[in-house]
Structure 1
Amino acid sequence: MTISIEDVRAAAELVALGLRTSARPTDGNPYGRLVERYRTQTLFRDTVDAIAGGLGLTVLGAPARTGLVLSTQPGSVFAVRMGDLRSTGMSADEKLISGLIVLGVAAYAFPQEADLDSTEVKTVEVSALDKFIRDTIDRVQMIPGDDDTVDGQARVAAEIYRRTAAFRPKDRQPGPAKGCTQFAVAEVLGWLVERGAARPMPQLGPSTFQLTDRFRLLVADVAGGEALEAMRSVKH
């Protein structure tokens, strides 16, 4: 069996849809049909994987309700950096805090490695997640290693997090103001929404979010390191 130019075009279209994290597959739309082909046709799947690899991407999976989930290879032009979280730029301390929060979301939602194999829906709430991260700080700060390593950066971030106020009110509206950790948590969760890794759940509360399969697969693809394991050891 051979692959046609139309099949290559369809495979490239699926990769493009995977990069558009707001796109959602359904049984009847083109995205849903392409995802089904990826899940059931070996040759088409191999073609999609090859196209993604040529773009510096790796296909982590294609859950029916999420679509194609992609991660970036080292040096990929599609790589996402903490500095991309805010268009106006972030300070070094803010980037460290944001990185710690992403680890915190992973540890909070998936406290055991086996949890990454479950498709159970996970929800997080801003103040509860902020409290969880604060409860993990002592253990993260005990991690050995140089400050320029990933775990060392987490240790530095934990100290910054500790000395930053948990909550500061806005002047004229509800919610945390910029400069406190609850604001940073809400900002990171909003960023995950933009990446298709979470969705807001206002029916459960104004600061509650549901994590998607995309986030679960991205966490499973990343080597956790000692910082993640230290945070996972704290019960919530």
Structure 2
Amino acid sequence: MNQPDVTDTEQAARLVGLGLRGKQVPDRDMTYRGLVHRYQQDEVFAASVDAIADGLGLTVLDVTKRSGIVLAAQPGSAFEIKMDEYARQAKLRERRDTEKVLHGIAHLAVAALSFPRPDDLANDQYVGRVSVESVDLVVRETCRLLDERANRDSANADPSADEPELERAWRAYLRRPEVAATKDSRRNSDSTRGMVSRALRWLADRGLLQAVGEEADEVFRTTSRYQIHVRQLASQAAFRELLDLGVVPPPSGSGLNVTAVPREDLKRGIDV
């Protein structure tokens, strides 16, 4: 009976391991470059890598020379990071389910602003830039538009029981203070800008964003790894529900410009 090639299996596992180190990229590691090249050229080796990842509860999203191997945790995987755990450090001011969605909103807004047009998301060479201020301003302006829409559509502006959870959370975000400084001058994680800052730094710690400029500006640029993840996000229910609200922040050279657009046009524009 043929025995598996231990060396090949070890190399396949090593490639998966490199993918778990978010800041590791092929450009800085000759071994990593070689493994990426082998994955792209050797179907048997690629199948072995995919099988090892799957056994660990991971999915291989893509393998490129720029990004390396990009992995995503499967539901129930030991690597899955649930929003309950992510939001646990923040003080609960809302219902627990709403609080979790508030933190999710910050991540969805970062993704939308990082790649504001379908062509940006499809272009492998595109690099987006976002800041704490820009993300928070866009979400708050979106909340204002939704509030105006609710007041026009109904005499009762309070969300009804059958209103989408995400839409209820927009209202909670609008009530949250923009900035609430702590005693040692750090941004309070309970404020909306604190939530956005945490989201951006969490992504940067995992090699999905890179901080640029002065730290006080809190400006980040996207990486190819993040672009691949956002492409995956664009097909998921939470992202679709965000789009179904009918509000999108288009790129504008004259500053912040959040515009309500028809849902049909919005859905056509997001397809990648």
TM over 0.5: yes
Q: TM-score w.r.t. structure 2 length?
A: 0.73
Query: Aligned partners of 1:87, 1:10: CA distance in 2, in Å?
Result: 37
Secondary structure at 1:26 match in 2: helix
Map 1:191-206 → 2, pairs under 5 A: 191-203=202-214, 206=217
Query: Aligned partners of 1:3, 1:86: CA distance in 2, in Å?
Result: 44
Of 46-55 and 134-143, more deviation after overlay is shown by: 134-143
Would you say 1:168 and 2:180 are equivalent positions?
A: yes
1:96 to 89, 92, 101: 101
1:154 maps to 166
2:195 maps to 184
**CA distance 1:17–1:131, change in 2 (3 Å):** same
Query: Aligned partners of 1:140, 1:36: CA distance in 2, in Å?
Result: 48
Query: Aligned partners of 1:6, 1:225: CA distance in 2, in Å?
Result: 43
Of 208-217 and 17-26, more deviation after overlay is shown by: 17-26
**CA distance 1:32–1:86, change in 2 (3 Å):** farther
Would you say 1:216 and 2:217 are equivalent positions?
A: no
**Per-residue deviation, residues 116-160 of structure 1 (Å, max 9, x unmatched):** 2112111101111100111222566779x9979xx9332122111
Of 34-43 and 47-56, more deviation after overlay is shown by: 34-43
Query: Aligned partners of 1:46, 1:16: CA distance in 2, in Å?
Result: 16
Q: Which amino acid aligns with 1:127?
A: E
1:132 maps to 138
**Per-residue deviation, residues 88-126 of structure 1 (Å, max 9, x unmatched):** 466335422210011111111223334321121111011
Percent identical pairs in the alignment equals 31
Query: Aligned partners of 1:30, 1:52: CA distance in 2, in Å?
Result: 19
- Structure with max Cα Rg: 2
Would you say 1:106 and 2:115 are equivalent positions?
A: no
Secondary structure at 2:242 match in 1: helix
Secondary structure at 1:62 match in 2: strand
> Is the contact made by 1:112 and 1:232 (CA closer than 8 Å) also made in structure 2?
no
> Is the contact made by 1:126 and 1:207 (CA closer than 8 Å) also made in structure 2?
yes
Query: Aligned partners of 2:85, 2:42: CA distance in 1, in Å?
Result: 36
1:22 maps to 23
**Per-residue deviation, residues 165-224 of structure 1 (Å, max 9, x unmatched):** 112334453x63332111110011111112221121135863111121222111211323
For structure 1, list consecutive stretches of 5 or more residues without a partner in the other structure: none
Query: Aligned partners of 1:30, 1:105: CA distance in 2, in Å?
Result: 33
Secondary structure at 2:164 match in 1: helix
**CA distance 1:36–1:140, change in 2 (3 Å):** farther
Q: TM-score w.r.t. structure 1 length?
A: 0.84
Query: Aligned partners of 1:178, 1:172: CA distance in 2, in Å?
Result: 13
> Is the contact made by 2:84 and 2:100 (CA closer than 8 Å) also made in structure 1?
yes
Query: Aligned partners of 1:43, 1:218: CA distance in 2, in Å?
Result: 25
1:75 maps to 76
Q: Which amino acid aligns with 1:71?
A: A
1:233 maps to 248
Secondary structure at 1:196 match in 2: coil
Q: Which amino acid aligns with 2:131?
A: E
**Per-residue deviation, residues 30-53 of structure 1 (Å, max 9, x unmatched):** 222212222232222121112112
Map 1:17-56 → 2, pairs under 5 A: 17-26=18-27, 28-56=29-57
**CA distance 1:94–1:38, change in 2 (3 Å):** same
